[in-house]
Structure 1
Amino acid sequence: MKSIAVYCGSSLGTDDKIVSDARKLGITMAQQQITLVYGGAQIGIMGTVANAVLEYGGKVIGVIPEFLKRREVAHLGITELHTTTTMVERKIKMIDLAEGFIALPGGFGTMEELFEVITALQLAQIAHPVAILNSNGYYDELIAMMHTMMKKGLLKEKNFDMLIIETDVSILLERMRNFVPKQIPKWIP
């Protein structure tokens, strides 16, 4: 795995452990020579991950829509910065540049990006690992909701099992390295 797209918040939030885990992820990615692909901002959790990768000599590729360039304060000190016209183009570009995907804590945008790539994996549109770094229990309720979806018969356990969920950065990256996509049977009409 040469590159990972990290989806996360453009604000820091109120939990120092989340920020610390974001920094640890960035450091570990740089040490393992994994290129960071992210939303291109210098602020929030996004900026924390990017700055940690850069501080430890890693490569950072940002992708930001033109209309967010000023609002999210584009990071001009990264290795590459791609500018898109729309959010849809941003997501497509990030998917094209990445060989794996991690959701750190974030808001609606992070949730959308996470569900887009796990759905693409489920439908065999991508074959790269999709993971959640469940920093300080941030995703506990979402994971519980996914269990409810399985209990109600709306999410198959084999599809849920495609999602890598960890609290430890090193274990998460190791599981992603060892990920093998499962064959999905064709849909029955």
Structure 2
Amino acid sequence: MNIVVYCGSSSGNDERFLESAKALGKWIGESGNTLVYGGASKGLMGAVSTAALEAGAEVIGVLPDVPLIQARRQQGLTQYIDTPTMAERKARMIELADAFVALPGGIGTLDELTEVMSLMSLNITSCPIVLFDTNGYYQPFRAVVRNIVESGFGRDEYFANMLFSEDMKDIAEFITRK
């Protein structure tokens, strides 16, 4: 299974963010899955990819032709996919996905996550989406999702294949359920 992970190229200000990234990467490798991510060596991206590689996973980095991102390229990945633009990077990652996990991250992570949520609401993808809610990181976003439904701009079924959790066991079960 290809698990696309969206996350920060920085580590944030809570050690638990790094711990979550490492736990996820380790599980991906130990469970025989493949990590697909943005290809960076720093921050949560570096932590999840290093842990996945150490646990035996295949790791695919998808990198756009953006100098700042190319300068942070993780070495030793199983495969590199270079794309001309950020939009093509996102599209390629979506094409490869069997599941999506968003660890804590910034604007880029939010952009990737909301695009996948939009595709889910249009029945373009049915892949599970997990928001790895380390220390309640995604609770404000969860409130936005609830507000979308309560205000009549979305329906509960748009979000039925989403999980907010920081429990690795729950996350693994949600991703692998058939």
* TM class, shorter-length: over 0.9
1:173 and 2:163 matched:
no
Structure 1 SS opposite 2:66: helix
The TM-score normalised by the length of structure 1 is: 0.89
> Cα deviation per residue 1:151-179 (whole Å; 9 max; x = unaligned)?
21122122122312211122112112125
**Which stretch shifts more, 20-29 or 165-174?**
165-174
Shift of the 72–164 alpha-carbon distance from structure 1 to 2, 3 Å rule, reads farther
Report if the CA contact (8 A) 2:26-2:52 is conserved: yes
Q: Secondary structure at the match of 1:154?
A: coil
Matched residue SS, 1:110: helix
The structure-2 alpha-carbon separation of the partners of 1:99 and 1:68, relative to structure 1 and needing over 3 Å to count, comes to farther
User: Residues 127, 98 of structure 1: CA spacing in aligned structure 2 closer, same or farther, 3 A cutoff?
Assistant: same
| Helix, strand or coil at the partner of 1:78 | coil
Deviates more, 1:63-72 or 1:46-55: 63-72
Find the aligned partners of 2:103 and 2:87 in 1 and give their Cα distance.
20
Confirm or deny: 8 A CA contact 1:10 1:72 kept in the other structure.
no
8 Å CA contact 1:100–1:176 kept in 2: the answer is yes
CA distance in 2, matches of 1:70, 1:136: 27
Q: Distance in 2 between matches of 1:135 and 1:3?
A: 22
- Map residues 66-81 of structure 1 onto 2, 5 A cutoff: 66-68=65-67, 72-81=71-80
CA distance in 2, matches of 1:68, 1:42: 14
- Do the aligned partners of residues 69 and 40 (structure 1) sit closer, same or farther apart at CA in structure 2, a change above 3 Å counting? farther
Provide the residue aligned with 2:29 in structure 1: 30
- The alpha-carbon deviation at position 12 of structure 1 amounts to 0.6
Q: Equivalents in 2 of 1:160, 1:127: separation in Å?
A: 10
Query: Once the 2 structures are TM-superposed, how far is the Cα of residue 127 of structure 1 from its aligned partner?
Result: 2.3
Residue 70 of structure 1 deviates from its aligned partner by: 5.2
Letter in 2 for 1:148: N
1:3 paired with 2:10, answer no
Counterparts in 2 of 1:1-189, with a 5 A limit?
2-68=1-67, 72-178=71-177
Q: Give the % identical residues.
A: 38
Aligned residue type for 1:77: G
What is the CA-CA distance between 1:4 and the residue it aligns to? 0.4
SS of residue paired to 1:102: strand
SS at match of 1:9: coil
Counterpart amino acid of residue 61 in structure 1 = I
Q: Normalised by the size of structure 2, how large is the TM-score?
A: 0.95
Q: Which runs of 5+ in 1 are unaligned?
A: 180-189
CA RMSD, Structure 1 to Structure 2 (Å): 1.4
CA shift for structure 1 position 121 = 1.5
